[in-house]
Amino acid sequence: MTRAGPAPEPASVAAVIVTFHPGPGLADTVASLLTQVGAVVIVDNGSCPADLPTGDDPAFHGRVEMIANGENRGVGAALNQGLGRAKERGFGWALTLDQDSVPLPNLVAAGGRAFQAYPEPDRLAAIGATVARNGASTPAPAGDYWRIPAVITSGTLQSVSAWERLGGFREDYFIDCIDTEFCLRARARGLDVVQATEPALGHSIGAPSRKWVLGRWMMPTNHSPLRRYYVTRNRLSLWRGYMRSDRRFVMRDMRQAIREWIGIVFAESDRPAKLGAILAGLRDGLLGRLGARRLPESPH
Protein backbone atom coordinates (compact mmCIF):
# COMPACT_ATOMS: atom_id res chain seq x y z
CA MET A 1 0.00 0.00 0.00
CA THR A 2 1.26 3.47 -0.87
CA ARG A 3 1.70 5.51 2.28
CA ALA A 4 0.32 9.03 2.08
CA GLY A 5 2.97 10.24 4.53
CA PRO A 6 2.42 12.87 7.21
CA ALA A 7 -0.73 14.95 7.26
CA PRO A 8 -0.72 17.94 4.92
CA GLU A 9 0.74 20.93 6.78
CA PRO A 10 3.12 23.72 5.77
CA ALA A 11 6.26 21.65 6.43
CA SER A 12 5.10 18.72 4.28
CA VAL A 13 3.52 20.60 1.34
CA ALA A 14 5.06 22.22 -1.73
CA ALA A 15 2.79 24.25 -4.00
CA VAL A 16 3.13 23.53 -7.73
CA ILE A 17 1.79 26.19 -10.11
CA VAL A 18 1.73 25.61 -13.87
CA THR A 19 1.86 28.89 -15.80
CA PHE A 20 1.31 29.97 -19.39
CA HIS A 21 1.46 33.75 -19.92
CA PRO A 22 0.07 34.45 -16.43
CA GLY A 23 -1.63 37.66 -15.35
CA PRO A 24 -0.04 40.32 -13.12
CA GLY A 25 -1.55 38.86 -9.92
CA LEU A 26 0.65 35.76 -9.86
CA ALA A 27 3.33 37.27 -7.61
CA ASP A 28 0.70 38.18 -5.00
CA THR A 29 -0.73 34.66 -5.15
CA VAL A 30 2.71 33.16 -4.64
CA ALA A 31 3.47 35.45 -1.70
CA SER A 32 0.15 34.57 -0.03
CA LEU A 33 0.86 30.84 -0.43
CA LEU A 34 4.08 31.01 1.57
CA THR A 35 2.11 31.09 4.84
CA GLN A 36 0.58 27.70 3.98
CA VAL A 37 3.36 25.72 2.28
CA GLY A 38 7.05 25.02 2.68
CA ALA A 39 7.98 25.99 -0.87
CA VAL A 40 6.48 27.04 -4.19
CA VAL A 41 7.55 25.52 -7.51
CA ILE A 42 6.43 27.42 -10.61
CA VAL A 43 6.62 25.42 -13.84
CA ASP A 44 6.25 27.73 -16.81
CA ASN A 45 5.31 26.55 -20.29
CA GLY A 46 7.01 29.01 -22.62
CA SER A 47 5.93 32.41 -21.29
CA CYS A 48 7.88 35.60 -21.79
CA PRO A 49 10.23 36.26 -18.85
CA ALA A 50 8.48 39.57 -18.24
CA ASP A 51 5.26 37.68 -17.47
CA LEU A 52 6.81 35.80 -14.56
CA PRO A 53 7.72 36.73 -10.98
CA THR A 54 11.43 36.35 -10.22
CA GLY A 55 12.38 33.66 -7.75
CA ASP A 56 14.87 36.01 -6.05
CA ASP A 57 12.16 38.48 -5.03
CA PRO A 58 12.93 39.35 -1.37
CA ALA A 59 9.26 38.82 -0.52
CA PHE A 60 9.65 35.13 -1.36
CA HIS A 61 12.37 34.51 1.26
CA GLY A 62 14.22 32.10 -1.05
CA ARG A 63 11.35 29.60 -1.01
CA VAL A 64 10.19 29.99 -4.62
CA GLU A 65 11.73 27.98 -7.44
CA MET A 66 11.17 28.50 -11.16
CA ILE A 67 11.33 25.77 -13.81
CA ALA A 68 11.19 27.50 -17.20
CA ASN A 69 10.33 25.40 -20.24
CA GLY A 70 11.27 26.96 -23.54
CA GLU A 71 8.01 25.80 -25.10
CA ASN A 72 4.52 24.75 -24.07
CA ARG A 73 5.02 21.15 -22.99
CA GLY A 74 1.44 20.79 -21.77
CA VAL A 75 -0.13 20.63 -18.34
CA GLY A 76 0.60 16.96 -17.69
CA ALA A 77 4.34 17.30 -18.37
CA ALA A 78 4.55 20.47 -16.26
CA LEU A 79 2.75 18.83 -13.34
CA ASN A 80 5.13 15.90 -13.51
CA GLN A 81 8.09 18.28 -13.45
CA GLY A 82 6.68 20.09 -10.43
CA LEU A 83 5.84 16.97 -8.45
CA GLY A 84 9.20 15.48 -9.34
CA ARG A 85 10.88 18.52 -7.83
CA ALA A 86 8.67 18.31 -4.73
CA LYS A 87 9.77 14.68 -4.31
CA GLU A 88 13.44 15.61 -4.72
CA ARG A 89 13.07 18.21 -1.98
CA GLY A 90 11.47 15.73 0.40
CA PHE A 91 7.87 16.98 0.43
CA GLY A 92 5.13 14.41 0.97
CA TRP A 93 2.39 16.48 -0.64
CA ALA A 94 2.08 18.83 -3.62
CA LEU A 95 -0.63 21.48 -3.71
CA THR A 96 -1.35 21.87 -7.43
CA LEU A 97 -2.81 25.18 -8.58
CA ASP A 98 -3.88 26.90 -11.78
CA GLN A 99 -2.27 30.28 -12.35
CA ASP A 100 -5.57 32.16 -12.05
CA SER A 101 -6.99 30.36 -9.01
CA VAL A 102 -7.12 32.15 -5.64
CA PRO A 103 -6.05 30.02 -2.66
CA LEU A 104 -7.82 31.11 0.51
CA PRO A 105 -5.85 31.11 3.79
CA ASN A 106 -7.49 27.86 4.95
CA LEU A 107 -6.72 25.80 1.82
CA VAL A 108 -4.02 23.50 3.22
CA ALA A 109 -5.64 23.36 6.66
CA ALA A 110 -8.95 22.20 5.16
CA GLY A 111 -7.13 19.43 3.30
CA GLY A 112 -5.31 18.48 6.48
CA ARG A 113 -8.59 18.15 8.37
CA ALA A 114 -9.98 15.92 5.61
CA PHE A 115 -6.87 13.75 5.84
CA GLN A 116 -7.13 13.44 9.63
CA ALA A 117 -10.85 12.57 9.47
CA TYR A 118 -10.50 9.95 6.74
CA PRO A 119 -10.56 6.42 8.22
CA GLU A 120 -7.80 5.11 5.90
CA PRO A 121 -5.56 8.10 5.14
CA ASP A 122 -2.82 5.90 3.69
CA ARG A 123 -5.18 5.16 0.78
CA LEU A 124 -5.54 8.81 -0.22
CA ALA A 125 -4.08 9.79 -3.59
CA ALA A 126 -5.65 13.26 -3.76
CA ILE A 127 -7.58 15.67 -1.53
CA GLY A 128 -9.50 18.21 -3.60
CA ALA A 129 -10.72 21.65 -2.57
CA THR A 130 -14.23 23.05 -2.43
CA VAL A 131 -14.64 26.26 -4.41
CA ALA A 132 -15.81 29.20 -2.32
CA ARG A 133 -18.73 31.21 -3.62
CA ASN A 134 -17.74 34.76 -4.53
CA GLY A 135 -14.18 33.91 -3.47
CA ALA A 136 -14.96 34.03 0.23
CA SER A 137 -14.87 31.31 2.85
CA THR A 138 -18.23 30.13 4.18
CA PRO A 139 -19.16 27.64 6.90
CA ALA A 140 -18.43 24.05 5.89
CA PRO A 141 -21.09 21.32 5.82
CA ALA A 142 -21.06 18.59 8.44
CA GLY A 143 -18.00 16.37 8.11
CA ASP A 144 -14.55 17.20 6.76
CA TYR A 145 -14.61 15.36 3.43
CA TRP A 146 -16.70 13.88 0.65
CA ARG A 147 -15.61 10.72 -1.16
CA ILE A 148 -15.94 11.48 -4.89
CA PRO A 149 -14.66 9.93 -8.16
CA ALA A 150 -12.46 12.81 -9.30
CA VAL A 151 -11.28 16.30 -8.36
CA ILE A 152 -9.90 19.17 -10.43
CA THR A 153 -6.18 19.93 -10.45
CA SER A 154 -6.43 23.37 -8.92
CA GLY A 155 -6.43 23.40 -5.13
CA THR A 156 -5.78 19.67 -4.85
CA LEU A 157 -3.29 18.16 -2.43
CA GLN A 158 -1.56 15.37 -4.34
CA SER A 159 0.16 12.56 -2.45
CA VAL A 160 3.67 12.50 -3.89
CA SER A 161 4.08 8.78 -3.12
CA ALA A 162 0.77 7.96 -4.86
CA TRP A 163 1.78 10.09 -7.86
CA GLU A 164 5.03 8.16 -8.10
CA ARG A 165 3.33 4.77 -7.76
CA LEU A 166 0.75 5.62 -10.43
CA GLY A 167 3.38 6.73 -12.94
CA GLY A 168 2.53 10.43 -12.92
CA PHE A 169 0.05 12.43 -14.97
CA ARG A 170 -0.64 11.58 -18.61
CA GLU A 171 1.47 13.88 -20.75
CA ASP A 172 -0.11 12.79 -24.04
CA TYR A 173 -3.42 14.42 -23.03
CA PHE A 174 -1.54 17.77 -23.12
CA ILE A 175 -4.40 19.68 -21.47
CA ASP A 176 -7.90 18.82 -20.19
CA CYS A 177 -9.09 15.63 -18.46
CA ILE A 178 -5.59 15.07 -17.04
CA ASP A 179 -6.84 15.44 -13.47
CA THR A 180 -9.90 13.25 -14.04
CA GLU A 181 -7.87 10.47 -15.68
CA PHE A 182 -5.35 10.49 -12.83
CA CYS A 183 -8.13 10.17 -10.23
CA LEU A 184 -9.85 7.32 -12.08
CA ARG A 185 -6.52 5.55 -12.45
CA ALA A 186 -5.90 5.93 -8.72
CA ARG A 187 -9.32 4.46 -7.93
CA ALA A 188 -8.73 1.57 -10.32
CA ARG A 189 -5.50 0.84 -8.43
CA GLY A 190 -7.19 0.73 -5.04
CA LEU A 191 -6.52 4.30 -3.89
CA ASP A 192 -9.09 6.89 -2.84
CA VAL A 193 -9.96 10.46 -3.81
CA VAL A 194 -11.78 12.88 -1.52
CA GLN A 195 -12.81 16.50 -1.48
CA ALA A 196 -12.45 18.67 1.62
CA THR A 197 -15.84 20.14 2.46
CA GLU A 198 -14.61 23.48 3.78
CA PRO A 199 -14.71 26.14 1.01
CA ALA A 200 -11.10 27.21 0.47
CA LEU A 201 -10.48 28.12 -3.19
CA GLY A 202 -11.48 30.85 -5.60
CA HIS A 203 -11.76 29.30 -9.06
CA SER A 204 -13.83 29.45 -12.23
CA ILE A 205 -13.92 27.11 -15.23
CA GLY A 206 -13.59 28.87 -18.56
CA ALA A 207 -15.40 32.21 -18.92
CA PRO A 208 -18.88 31.21 -17.74
CA SER A 209 -21.98 33.19 -18.64
CA ARG A 210 -25.65 32.74 -17.79
CA LYS A 211 -28.22 32.55 -20.58
CA TRP A 212 -31.91 31.70 -20.78
CA VAL A 213 -32.26 29.09 -23.55
CA LEU A 214 -35.11 26.69 -24.37
CA GLY A 215 -37.01 27.57 -21.23
CA ARG A 216 -34.12 27.04 -18.82
CA TRP A 217 -30.95 28.73 -17.61
CA MET A 218 -27.68 27.50 -19.13
CA MET A 219 -24.15 28.23 -17.89
CA PRO A 220 -21.89 27.85 -20.95
CA THR A 221 -18.16 27.90 -20.18
CA ASN A 222 -17.25 29.59 -23.50
CA HIS A 223 -14.04 27.62 -23.95
CA SER A 224 -12.08 28.22 -27.15
CA PRO A 225 -12.33 25.82 -30.12
CA LEU A 226 -8.89 24.40 -29.26
CA ARG A 227 -9.97 23.60 -25.72
CA ARG A 228 -13.14 21.99 -27.07
CA TYR A 229 -10.96 19.78 -29.24
CA TYR A 230 -8.83 18.61 -26.32
CA VAL A 231 -11.79 18.07 -23.98
CA THR A 232 -13.63 15.96 -26.56
CA ARG A 233 -10.63 13.92 -27.67
CA ASN A 234 -9.40 13.19 -24.16
CA ARG A 235 -12.87 12.37 -22.91
CA LEU A 236 -13.14 9.63 -25.54
CA SER A 237 -9.81 8.21 -24.41
CA LEU A 238 -10.93 8.37 -20.78
CA TRP A 239 -14.31 6.74 -21.50
CA ARG A 240 -12.68 3.86 -23.34
CA GLY A 241 -10.10 3.36 -20.63
CA TYR A 242 -12.42 3.40 -17.61
CA MET A 243 -15.80 2.15 -18.80
CA ARG A 244 -15.26 -1.11 -16.93
CA SER A 245 -13.67 0.14 -13.73
CA ASP A 246 -15.75 3.34 -13.34
CA ARG A 247 -18.81 2.80 -15.52
CA ARG A 248 -21.08 4.99 -13.40
CA PHE A 249 -18.75 7.97 -13.68
CA VAL A 250 -18.23 7.47 -17.41
CA MET A 251 -21.96 7.33 -18.13
CA ARG A 252 -22.52 10.49 -16.11
CA ASP A 253 -19.69 12.24 -17.96
CA MET A 254 -21.16 11.22 -21.31
CA ARG A 255 -24.44 12.88 -20.35
CA GLN A 256 -22.53 15.97 -19.25
CA ALA A 257 -20.73 16.12 -22.60
CA ILE A 258 -24.04 16.00 -24.49
CA ARG A 259 -25.39 18.84 -22.33
CA GLU A 260 -22.27 20.89 -23.09
CA TRP A 261 -22.64 20.32 -26.83
CA ILE A 262 -26.27 21.43 -26.70
CA GLY A 263 -25.17 24.51 -24.77
CA ILE A 264 -22.64 25.37 -27.46
CA VAL A 265 -25.29 25.12 -30.19
CA PHE A 266 -27.79 27.37 -28.41
CA ALA A 267 -25.81 29.59 -26.05
CA GLU A 268 -22.24 30.19 -27.24
CA SER A 269 -20.61 32.29 -29.94
CA ASP A 270 -18.24 30.99 -32.65
CA ARG A 271 -20.37 27.86 -32.97
CA PRO A 272 -19.04 26.60 -36.36
CA ALA A 273 -15.43 26.61 -35.14
CA LYS A 274 -16.31 24.95 -31.83
CA LEU A 275 -18.46 22.26 -33.41
CA GLY A 276 -15.73 21.62 -35.97
CA ALA A 277 -13.23 21.25 -33.13
CA ILE A 278 -15.54 18.78 -31.38
CA LEU A 279 -15.80 16.69 -34.56
CA ALA A 280 -12.00 16.74 -34.90
CA GLY A 281 -11.71 15.67 -31.27
CA LEU A 282 -14.15 12.81 -31.84
CA ARG A 283 -12.16 11.67 -34.86
CA ASP A 284 -8.78 11.77 -33.14
CA GLY A 285 -10.18 10.24 -29.97
CA LEU A 286 -11.57 7.29 -31.91
CA LEU A 287 -8.26 6.90 -33.77
CA GLY A 288 -6.20 7.22 -30.59
CA ARG A 289 -4.30 10.29 -31.81
CA LEU A 290 -3.08 12.08 -28.69
CA GLY A 291 -0.41 14.65 -27.90
CA ALA A 292 -0.28 18.34 -28.80
CA ARG A 293 -2.41 19.41 -31.75
CA ARG A 294 -2.96 22.64 -33.68
CA LEU A 295 -6.31 23.43 -35.22
CA PRO A 296 -6.63 25.47 -38.43
CA GLU A 297 -6.51 29.21 -37.62
CA SER A 298 -5.96 28.43 -33.92
CA PRO A 299 -3.96 31.07 -32.04
CA HIS A 300 -2.15 28.41 -29.93
| DSSP secondary structure code for residue 217 in this structure | E
Is 93 within a domain?
yes
Q: Are residues 181 and 223 in the same domain?
A: no
pLDDT of residue 300: 41
Q: Are residues 109 and 231 in the same domain?
A: no
Q: Are residues 82 and 167 in the same domain?
A: yes
Q: Are residues 109 and 254 in the same domain?
A: no
| pLDDT digits 0-9 by tens, 124-183 | 999 999 999 765 555 556 689 999 999 999 999 999 999 999 999 999 999 999 999 999
Task: State the chain's mean pLDDT as an integer.
Answer: 89
Q: Are residues 93 and 193 in the same domain?
A: yes
What stretches in the chain show pLDDT beneath 70? Answer: 1-5, 54-59, 134-142, 204-220, 296-300
Q: What is the number of domains present in the chain?
A: 2
Last residue of a domain, one of 183, 202, 221: 202
Q: Are residues 40 and 165 in the same domain?
A: yes
Q: Of 196, 178, 19, which Cα lies nearest the Cα of 109?
A: 196
pLDDT of residue 68: 93
Distance from C-alpha of 147 to C-alpha of 265, rounded to nearest angstrom: 34
Distance from C-alpha of 6 to C-alpha of 3, rounded to nearest angstrom: 9
pLDDT of residue 35: 94
Is 299 within a domain?
no
Handedness of CA 299, 240, 1, 142 (dihedral sign): positive
Q: Could you tell me if 52 and 22 are in contact, meaning their C-beta atoms sit under 8 angstroms apart?
A: yes
Residues 211-238 as b/e (b if ≥16 CB within 10 A, e otherwise) read eeeeeeebebbbbbbbbbbbbbbbbbbb
- CA torsion, ordered 147, 210, 296, 46, to nearest 10 deg: -60
Q: Are residues 146 and 276 in the same domain?
A: no
Q: Tell me the β-bridge partners of 213.
A: 216
| Residue 148 belongs to domain with CATH number | 3.90.550.10
Last residue of a domain, one of 181, 202, 223: 202
Is 297 within a domain?
no
Q: Are residues 222 and 243 in the same domain?
A: yes
Q: Are residues 171 and 235 in the same domain?
A: no
pLDDT of residue 298: 47
Range of the domain at 252: 211-287
